[in-house]
Amino acid sequence: MVVEHEEQPPLERRSRDPERTKEEILVVSTQEFADRGFAGARVDEIANKTRTTKRMIYYYFGSKELLYMAALERAYEDIRVVEANVDVEHLDPIRAIRRLAELTFDRHEANPNFSRLISQENVQRGQFVTKASGFPRLERPIIKILEQVLERGRADGVFVRDIDALDVHMLISSFCFFRINNRFTFAASFGRNLVEPDRRAMYREMIGDVVVDYLTTPSPEDH
Amino acid sequence: MVVEHEEQPPLERRSRDPERTKEEILVVSTQEFADRGFAGARVDEIANKTRTTKRMIYYYFGSKELLYMAALERAYEDIRVVEANVDVEHLDPIRAIRRLAELTFDRHEANPNFSRLISQENVQRGQFVTKASGFPRLERPIIKILEQVLERGRADGVFVRDIDALDVHMLISSFCFFRINNRFTFAASFGRNLVEPDRRAMYREMIGDVVVDYLTTPSPEDH
DNA sequence: GTCTTAATGTACGAACTGGAGAATTCGCGG
DNA sequence: CCGCGAATTCTCCAGTTCGTACATTAAGAC
């Protein structure tokens, strides 16, 4: 674990670049927290993986907890940016729903660290996101977009199921989240690799089908 | 943290009961690992919460890692027992699917520690379940049961979707798992309490509807 | 009874880990 | 070219935590 670091002569150890230093700490610590959890991550290890020192972490972030919160915040911010740039207004409701499902699907796949951080945070009962000390806004743009699509679908008469945007989002998210996050234990239990490329396309379509089928099927009278 | 323990005069501090001691360590450590994760859990703390000492943990389990694996194993075993006792053969395929969905739903709700352990294990990339040192069988009876139900449904012509038991199980599990496990960050992001009793019944029915709608709707020709 | 051995209790240590005090260096405005 | 504050480095520490060496006790065999 020592060798590989010496192999970087062109890595300009540029001094005095606070923004870059902060950014690097944030990126590395996100990875570490996602990998090992809050308790498992080591401040020393994070420092070693940056081009700066442990003291800098405390200089900029104050404590391990604050660093973790900063990383979590950043992760949410990234998601929000992606979601804010979605445009499905030109699609008919069914295609729009499929598109949104694919978006969430791709997002989970492209950014597994976000999910791992979230997972981590939930294991410890959301002790940081629920901190009264005001964890900043976590609103997610995708909900508004979903609401509009559902509205249009209902107006058109194609969506007949009584369900709101939040629950649709939960249905989609849960599927995408599980596939990425629980792939290790799932593979151990059932011997199926959920992220195998061959299967990926199938799941990507599947979640769209699931949601569309649900939205377009009337509630059963009896149950 | 000292007081409550003194309040148990009838708690026969029975010496020499290895089975009971082992069992107590396992129960307590499951709770602790689920609460704090592997790295976050403290061996001393686990010992304090049992009526035995840290020494016993090492005596019976050898190390923190082995204790964690024992707890994980036990959790899987519990699930397997529950699943093995399911009987849905007397139900028509649609009702059987709903019943199985409810079973998984209830299981996640009744035993959140299992899910948290699983979550924990996945955050650390399944480092223990995938250990070559042979983590014991993790097979789950529910898959066979699901397979039979799907088979009957297809024979009856009510299930027309081409999907296997494992993927149906994943769809159901993901929903139930997410609702329990991610309830903290979901509440923080969206302000919705996923485990609120009023909403519980709705979700319990919803996942059944989702799966049944999916299974009974033909694949779209275009996509 | 006593003997043997499994079970339990006590105390300690070595390594790790989050954190901070204080010195130092760099870059920039004047 | 100088001075000043921000950025960075160096060094050390106090508390924690896993793990263990060693002593002790209870329970059943005979």
Which chain B residue has its CA at the smallest distance from A191's CA? B139
Core vs surface per residue A72-86: b (16+ CB within 10 A) or e: bbbbbeebbebbeee
A24: helix, coil or strand? helix
B193-B39-A37 Cα angle (round to 5): 50
Interface test with chain B among A94, A123, A124, by most B beta carbons within 10 Å? A123
Torsion from C-alpha of B106, B108, B113, B116, nearest 10 degrees = -170
Comparing A27 with A131, the larger pLDDT belongs to A27
pLDDT at A18: 79
Percent of chain A clearing pLDDT 90 (strictly above): 65
pLDDT at B4: 36
Comparing A64 with A19, the larger pLDDT belongs to A64
Percent of chain B clearing pLDDT 70 (strictly above): 88
The verdict on residue B135 lying in a domain is: yes
The verdict on residue B222 lying in a domain is: yes
The verdict on residue B9 lying in a domain is: no
Q: Is the CB of B17 under 7 A from strand D?
A: no
Q: Where are the beta strands (DSSP E) in chain A?
A: none
Task: Band the pLDDT of B130: cuts 50, 70, 90.
Answer: confident
A80: helix, coil or strand? helix
Q: Among B178, B208, B170, which residue's Cα sits nearest to residue B194?
A: B178
For residues A56 and A18, the answer to whether their CB atoms sit within 8 Å is no
CB contacts, 8 Å: A214 with chain B: 209-210, 213-214
Span of A77-81, A166-170, B126-130, B181-185 with lowest mean pLDDT? B126-130
Which chain A residue has its CA at the smallest distance from B203's CA? A167
Q: A138 is in which domain, residue-wise?
A: 88-223
CB contacts, 8 Å: B129 with chain A: 184-185, 188
Question: Between residues 130 and 189 of chain A, which touch chain B (CB distance below 8 Å)?
Answer: 130, 135, 138-140, 143, 161, 163, 166-167, 169-171, 173-175, 177-179, 181-189
Task: Band the pLDDT of B210: cuts 50, 70, 90.
Answer: very high
pLDDT at A136: 67
The verdict on residue A133 lying in a domain is: yes
Put residue B126 in one of left, alpha, beta given phi > 0 → left and psi -120 to 50 → alpha: left
pLDDT at B132: 54
Q: Is the pLDDT of residue A4 over 80?
A: no
- The closest CB to that of B123, out of A37, A166, A209, belongs to A37
pLDDT at A134: 61
Q: What mean pLDDT, rounded, does chain B reach?
A: 87
Q: pLDDT, tens digit, for every residue of B1-57? A: 333 333 333 333 445 677 888 899 999 999 999 988 899 999 999 999 998 889 989
Core vs surface per residue B113-146: b (16+ CB within 10 A) or e: bbbbbbbbbbbbebebbeeeeebeebebebbebb
Q: Residue A210 CA to nucleotide C19 C1', Å?
A: 51
Most confident of A8-17, A50-59, B65-74, B202-211: B202-211
pLDDT at B17: 73
Q: Is the CB of A43 under 7 A from strand C?
A: yes
Number of domains making up chain B: 1
Q: pLDDT, tens digit, for every residue of B170-196? A: 999 999 999 999 999 999 889 999 999
pLDDT at B88: 93
pLDDT at B213: 97
* A170:B194 CB<8 A: yes
Most confident of A193-202, A214-223, B6-15, B75-84: A193-202
Core vs surface per residue A123-132: b (16+ CB within 10 A) or e: bbebebbeee
The Cα B182–Cα B191 span in angstroms is 13
Span of A92-96, A147-151, A161-165, B32-36 with lowest mean pLDDT? B32-36
Average of per-residue pLDDT across B104-119: 92
For residues A65 and A110, the answer to whether their CB atoms sit within 8 Å is no
Interface test with chain A among B160, B163, B213, B215, by most A beta carbons within 10 Å? B213
Q: What mean pLDDT, rounded, does chain A reach?
A: 87
Put residue B157 in one of left, alpha, beta given phi > 0 → left and psi -120 to 50 → alpha: left
What does the longest C-alpha to C-alpha distance in chain A come to?
A: 71
CB contacts, 8 Å: B40 with chain A: 37-40, 124
pLDDT at A133: 57
Q: Is A194 exposed, middle or buried (0-12, 13-18, 19+ CB in 10 A)?
A: buried
A37-A42-A47 Cα angle (round to 5): 125
| Helix, strand, coil percentages for chain A (3-state, nearest 5) | 70, 0, 30
The verdict on residue B101 lying in a domain is: yes
Most confident of A36-45, A94-103, B110-119: A94-103
Task: Band the pLDDT of A132: cuts 50, 70, 90.
Answer: low
Task: Band the pLDDT of B101: cuts 50, 70, 90.
Answer: very high
pLDDT at B3: 35
The verdict on residue A185 lying in a domain is: yes
Most confident of A185-194, A203-212, B111-120: A203-212
Q: Is the pLDDT of residue B90 over 90?
A: yes
Residue A137's domain is classified under what CATH number? Answer: 1.10.357.10
A215: helix, coil or strand? helix
pLDDT at A12: 42
pLDDT at A162: 93
Question: Between residues 189 and 218 of chain A, which touch chain B (CB distance below 8 Å)?
Answer: 189-190, 192, 194, 203, 205-206, 208-210, 212-214, 217
pLDDT at A7: 33
Q: Residue A26 CA to nucleotide D8 C1', Å?
A: 18
The verdict on residue A21 lying in a domain is: no
Cα B107 from chain centroid (whole Å): 7
The verdict on residue B37 lying in a domain is: no
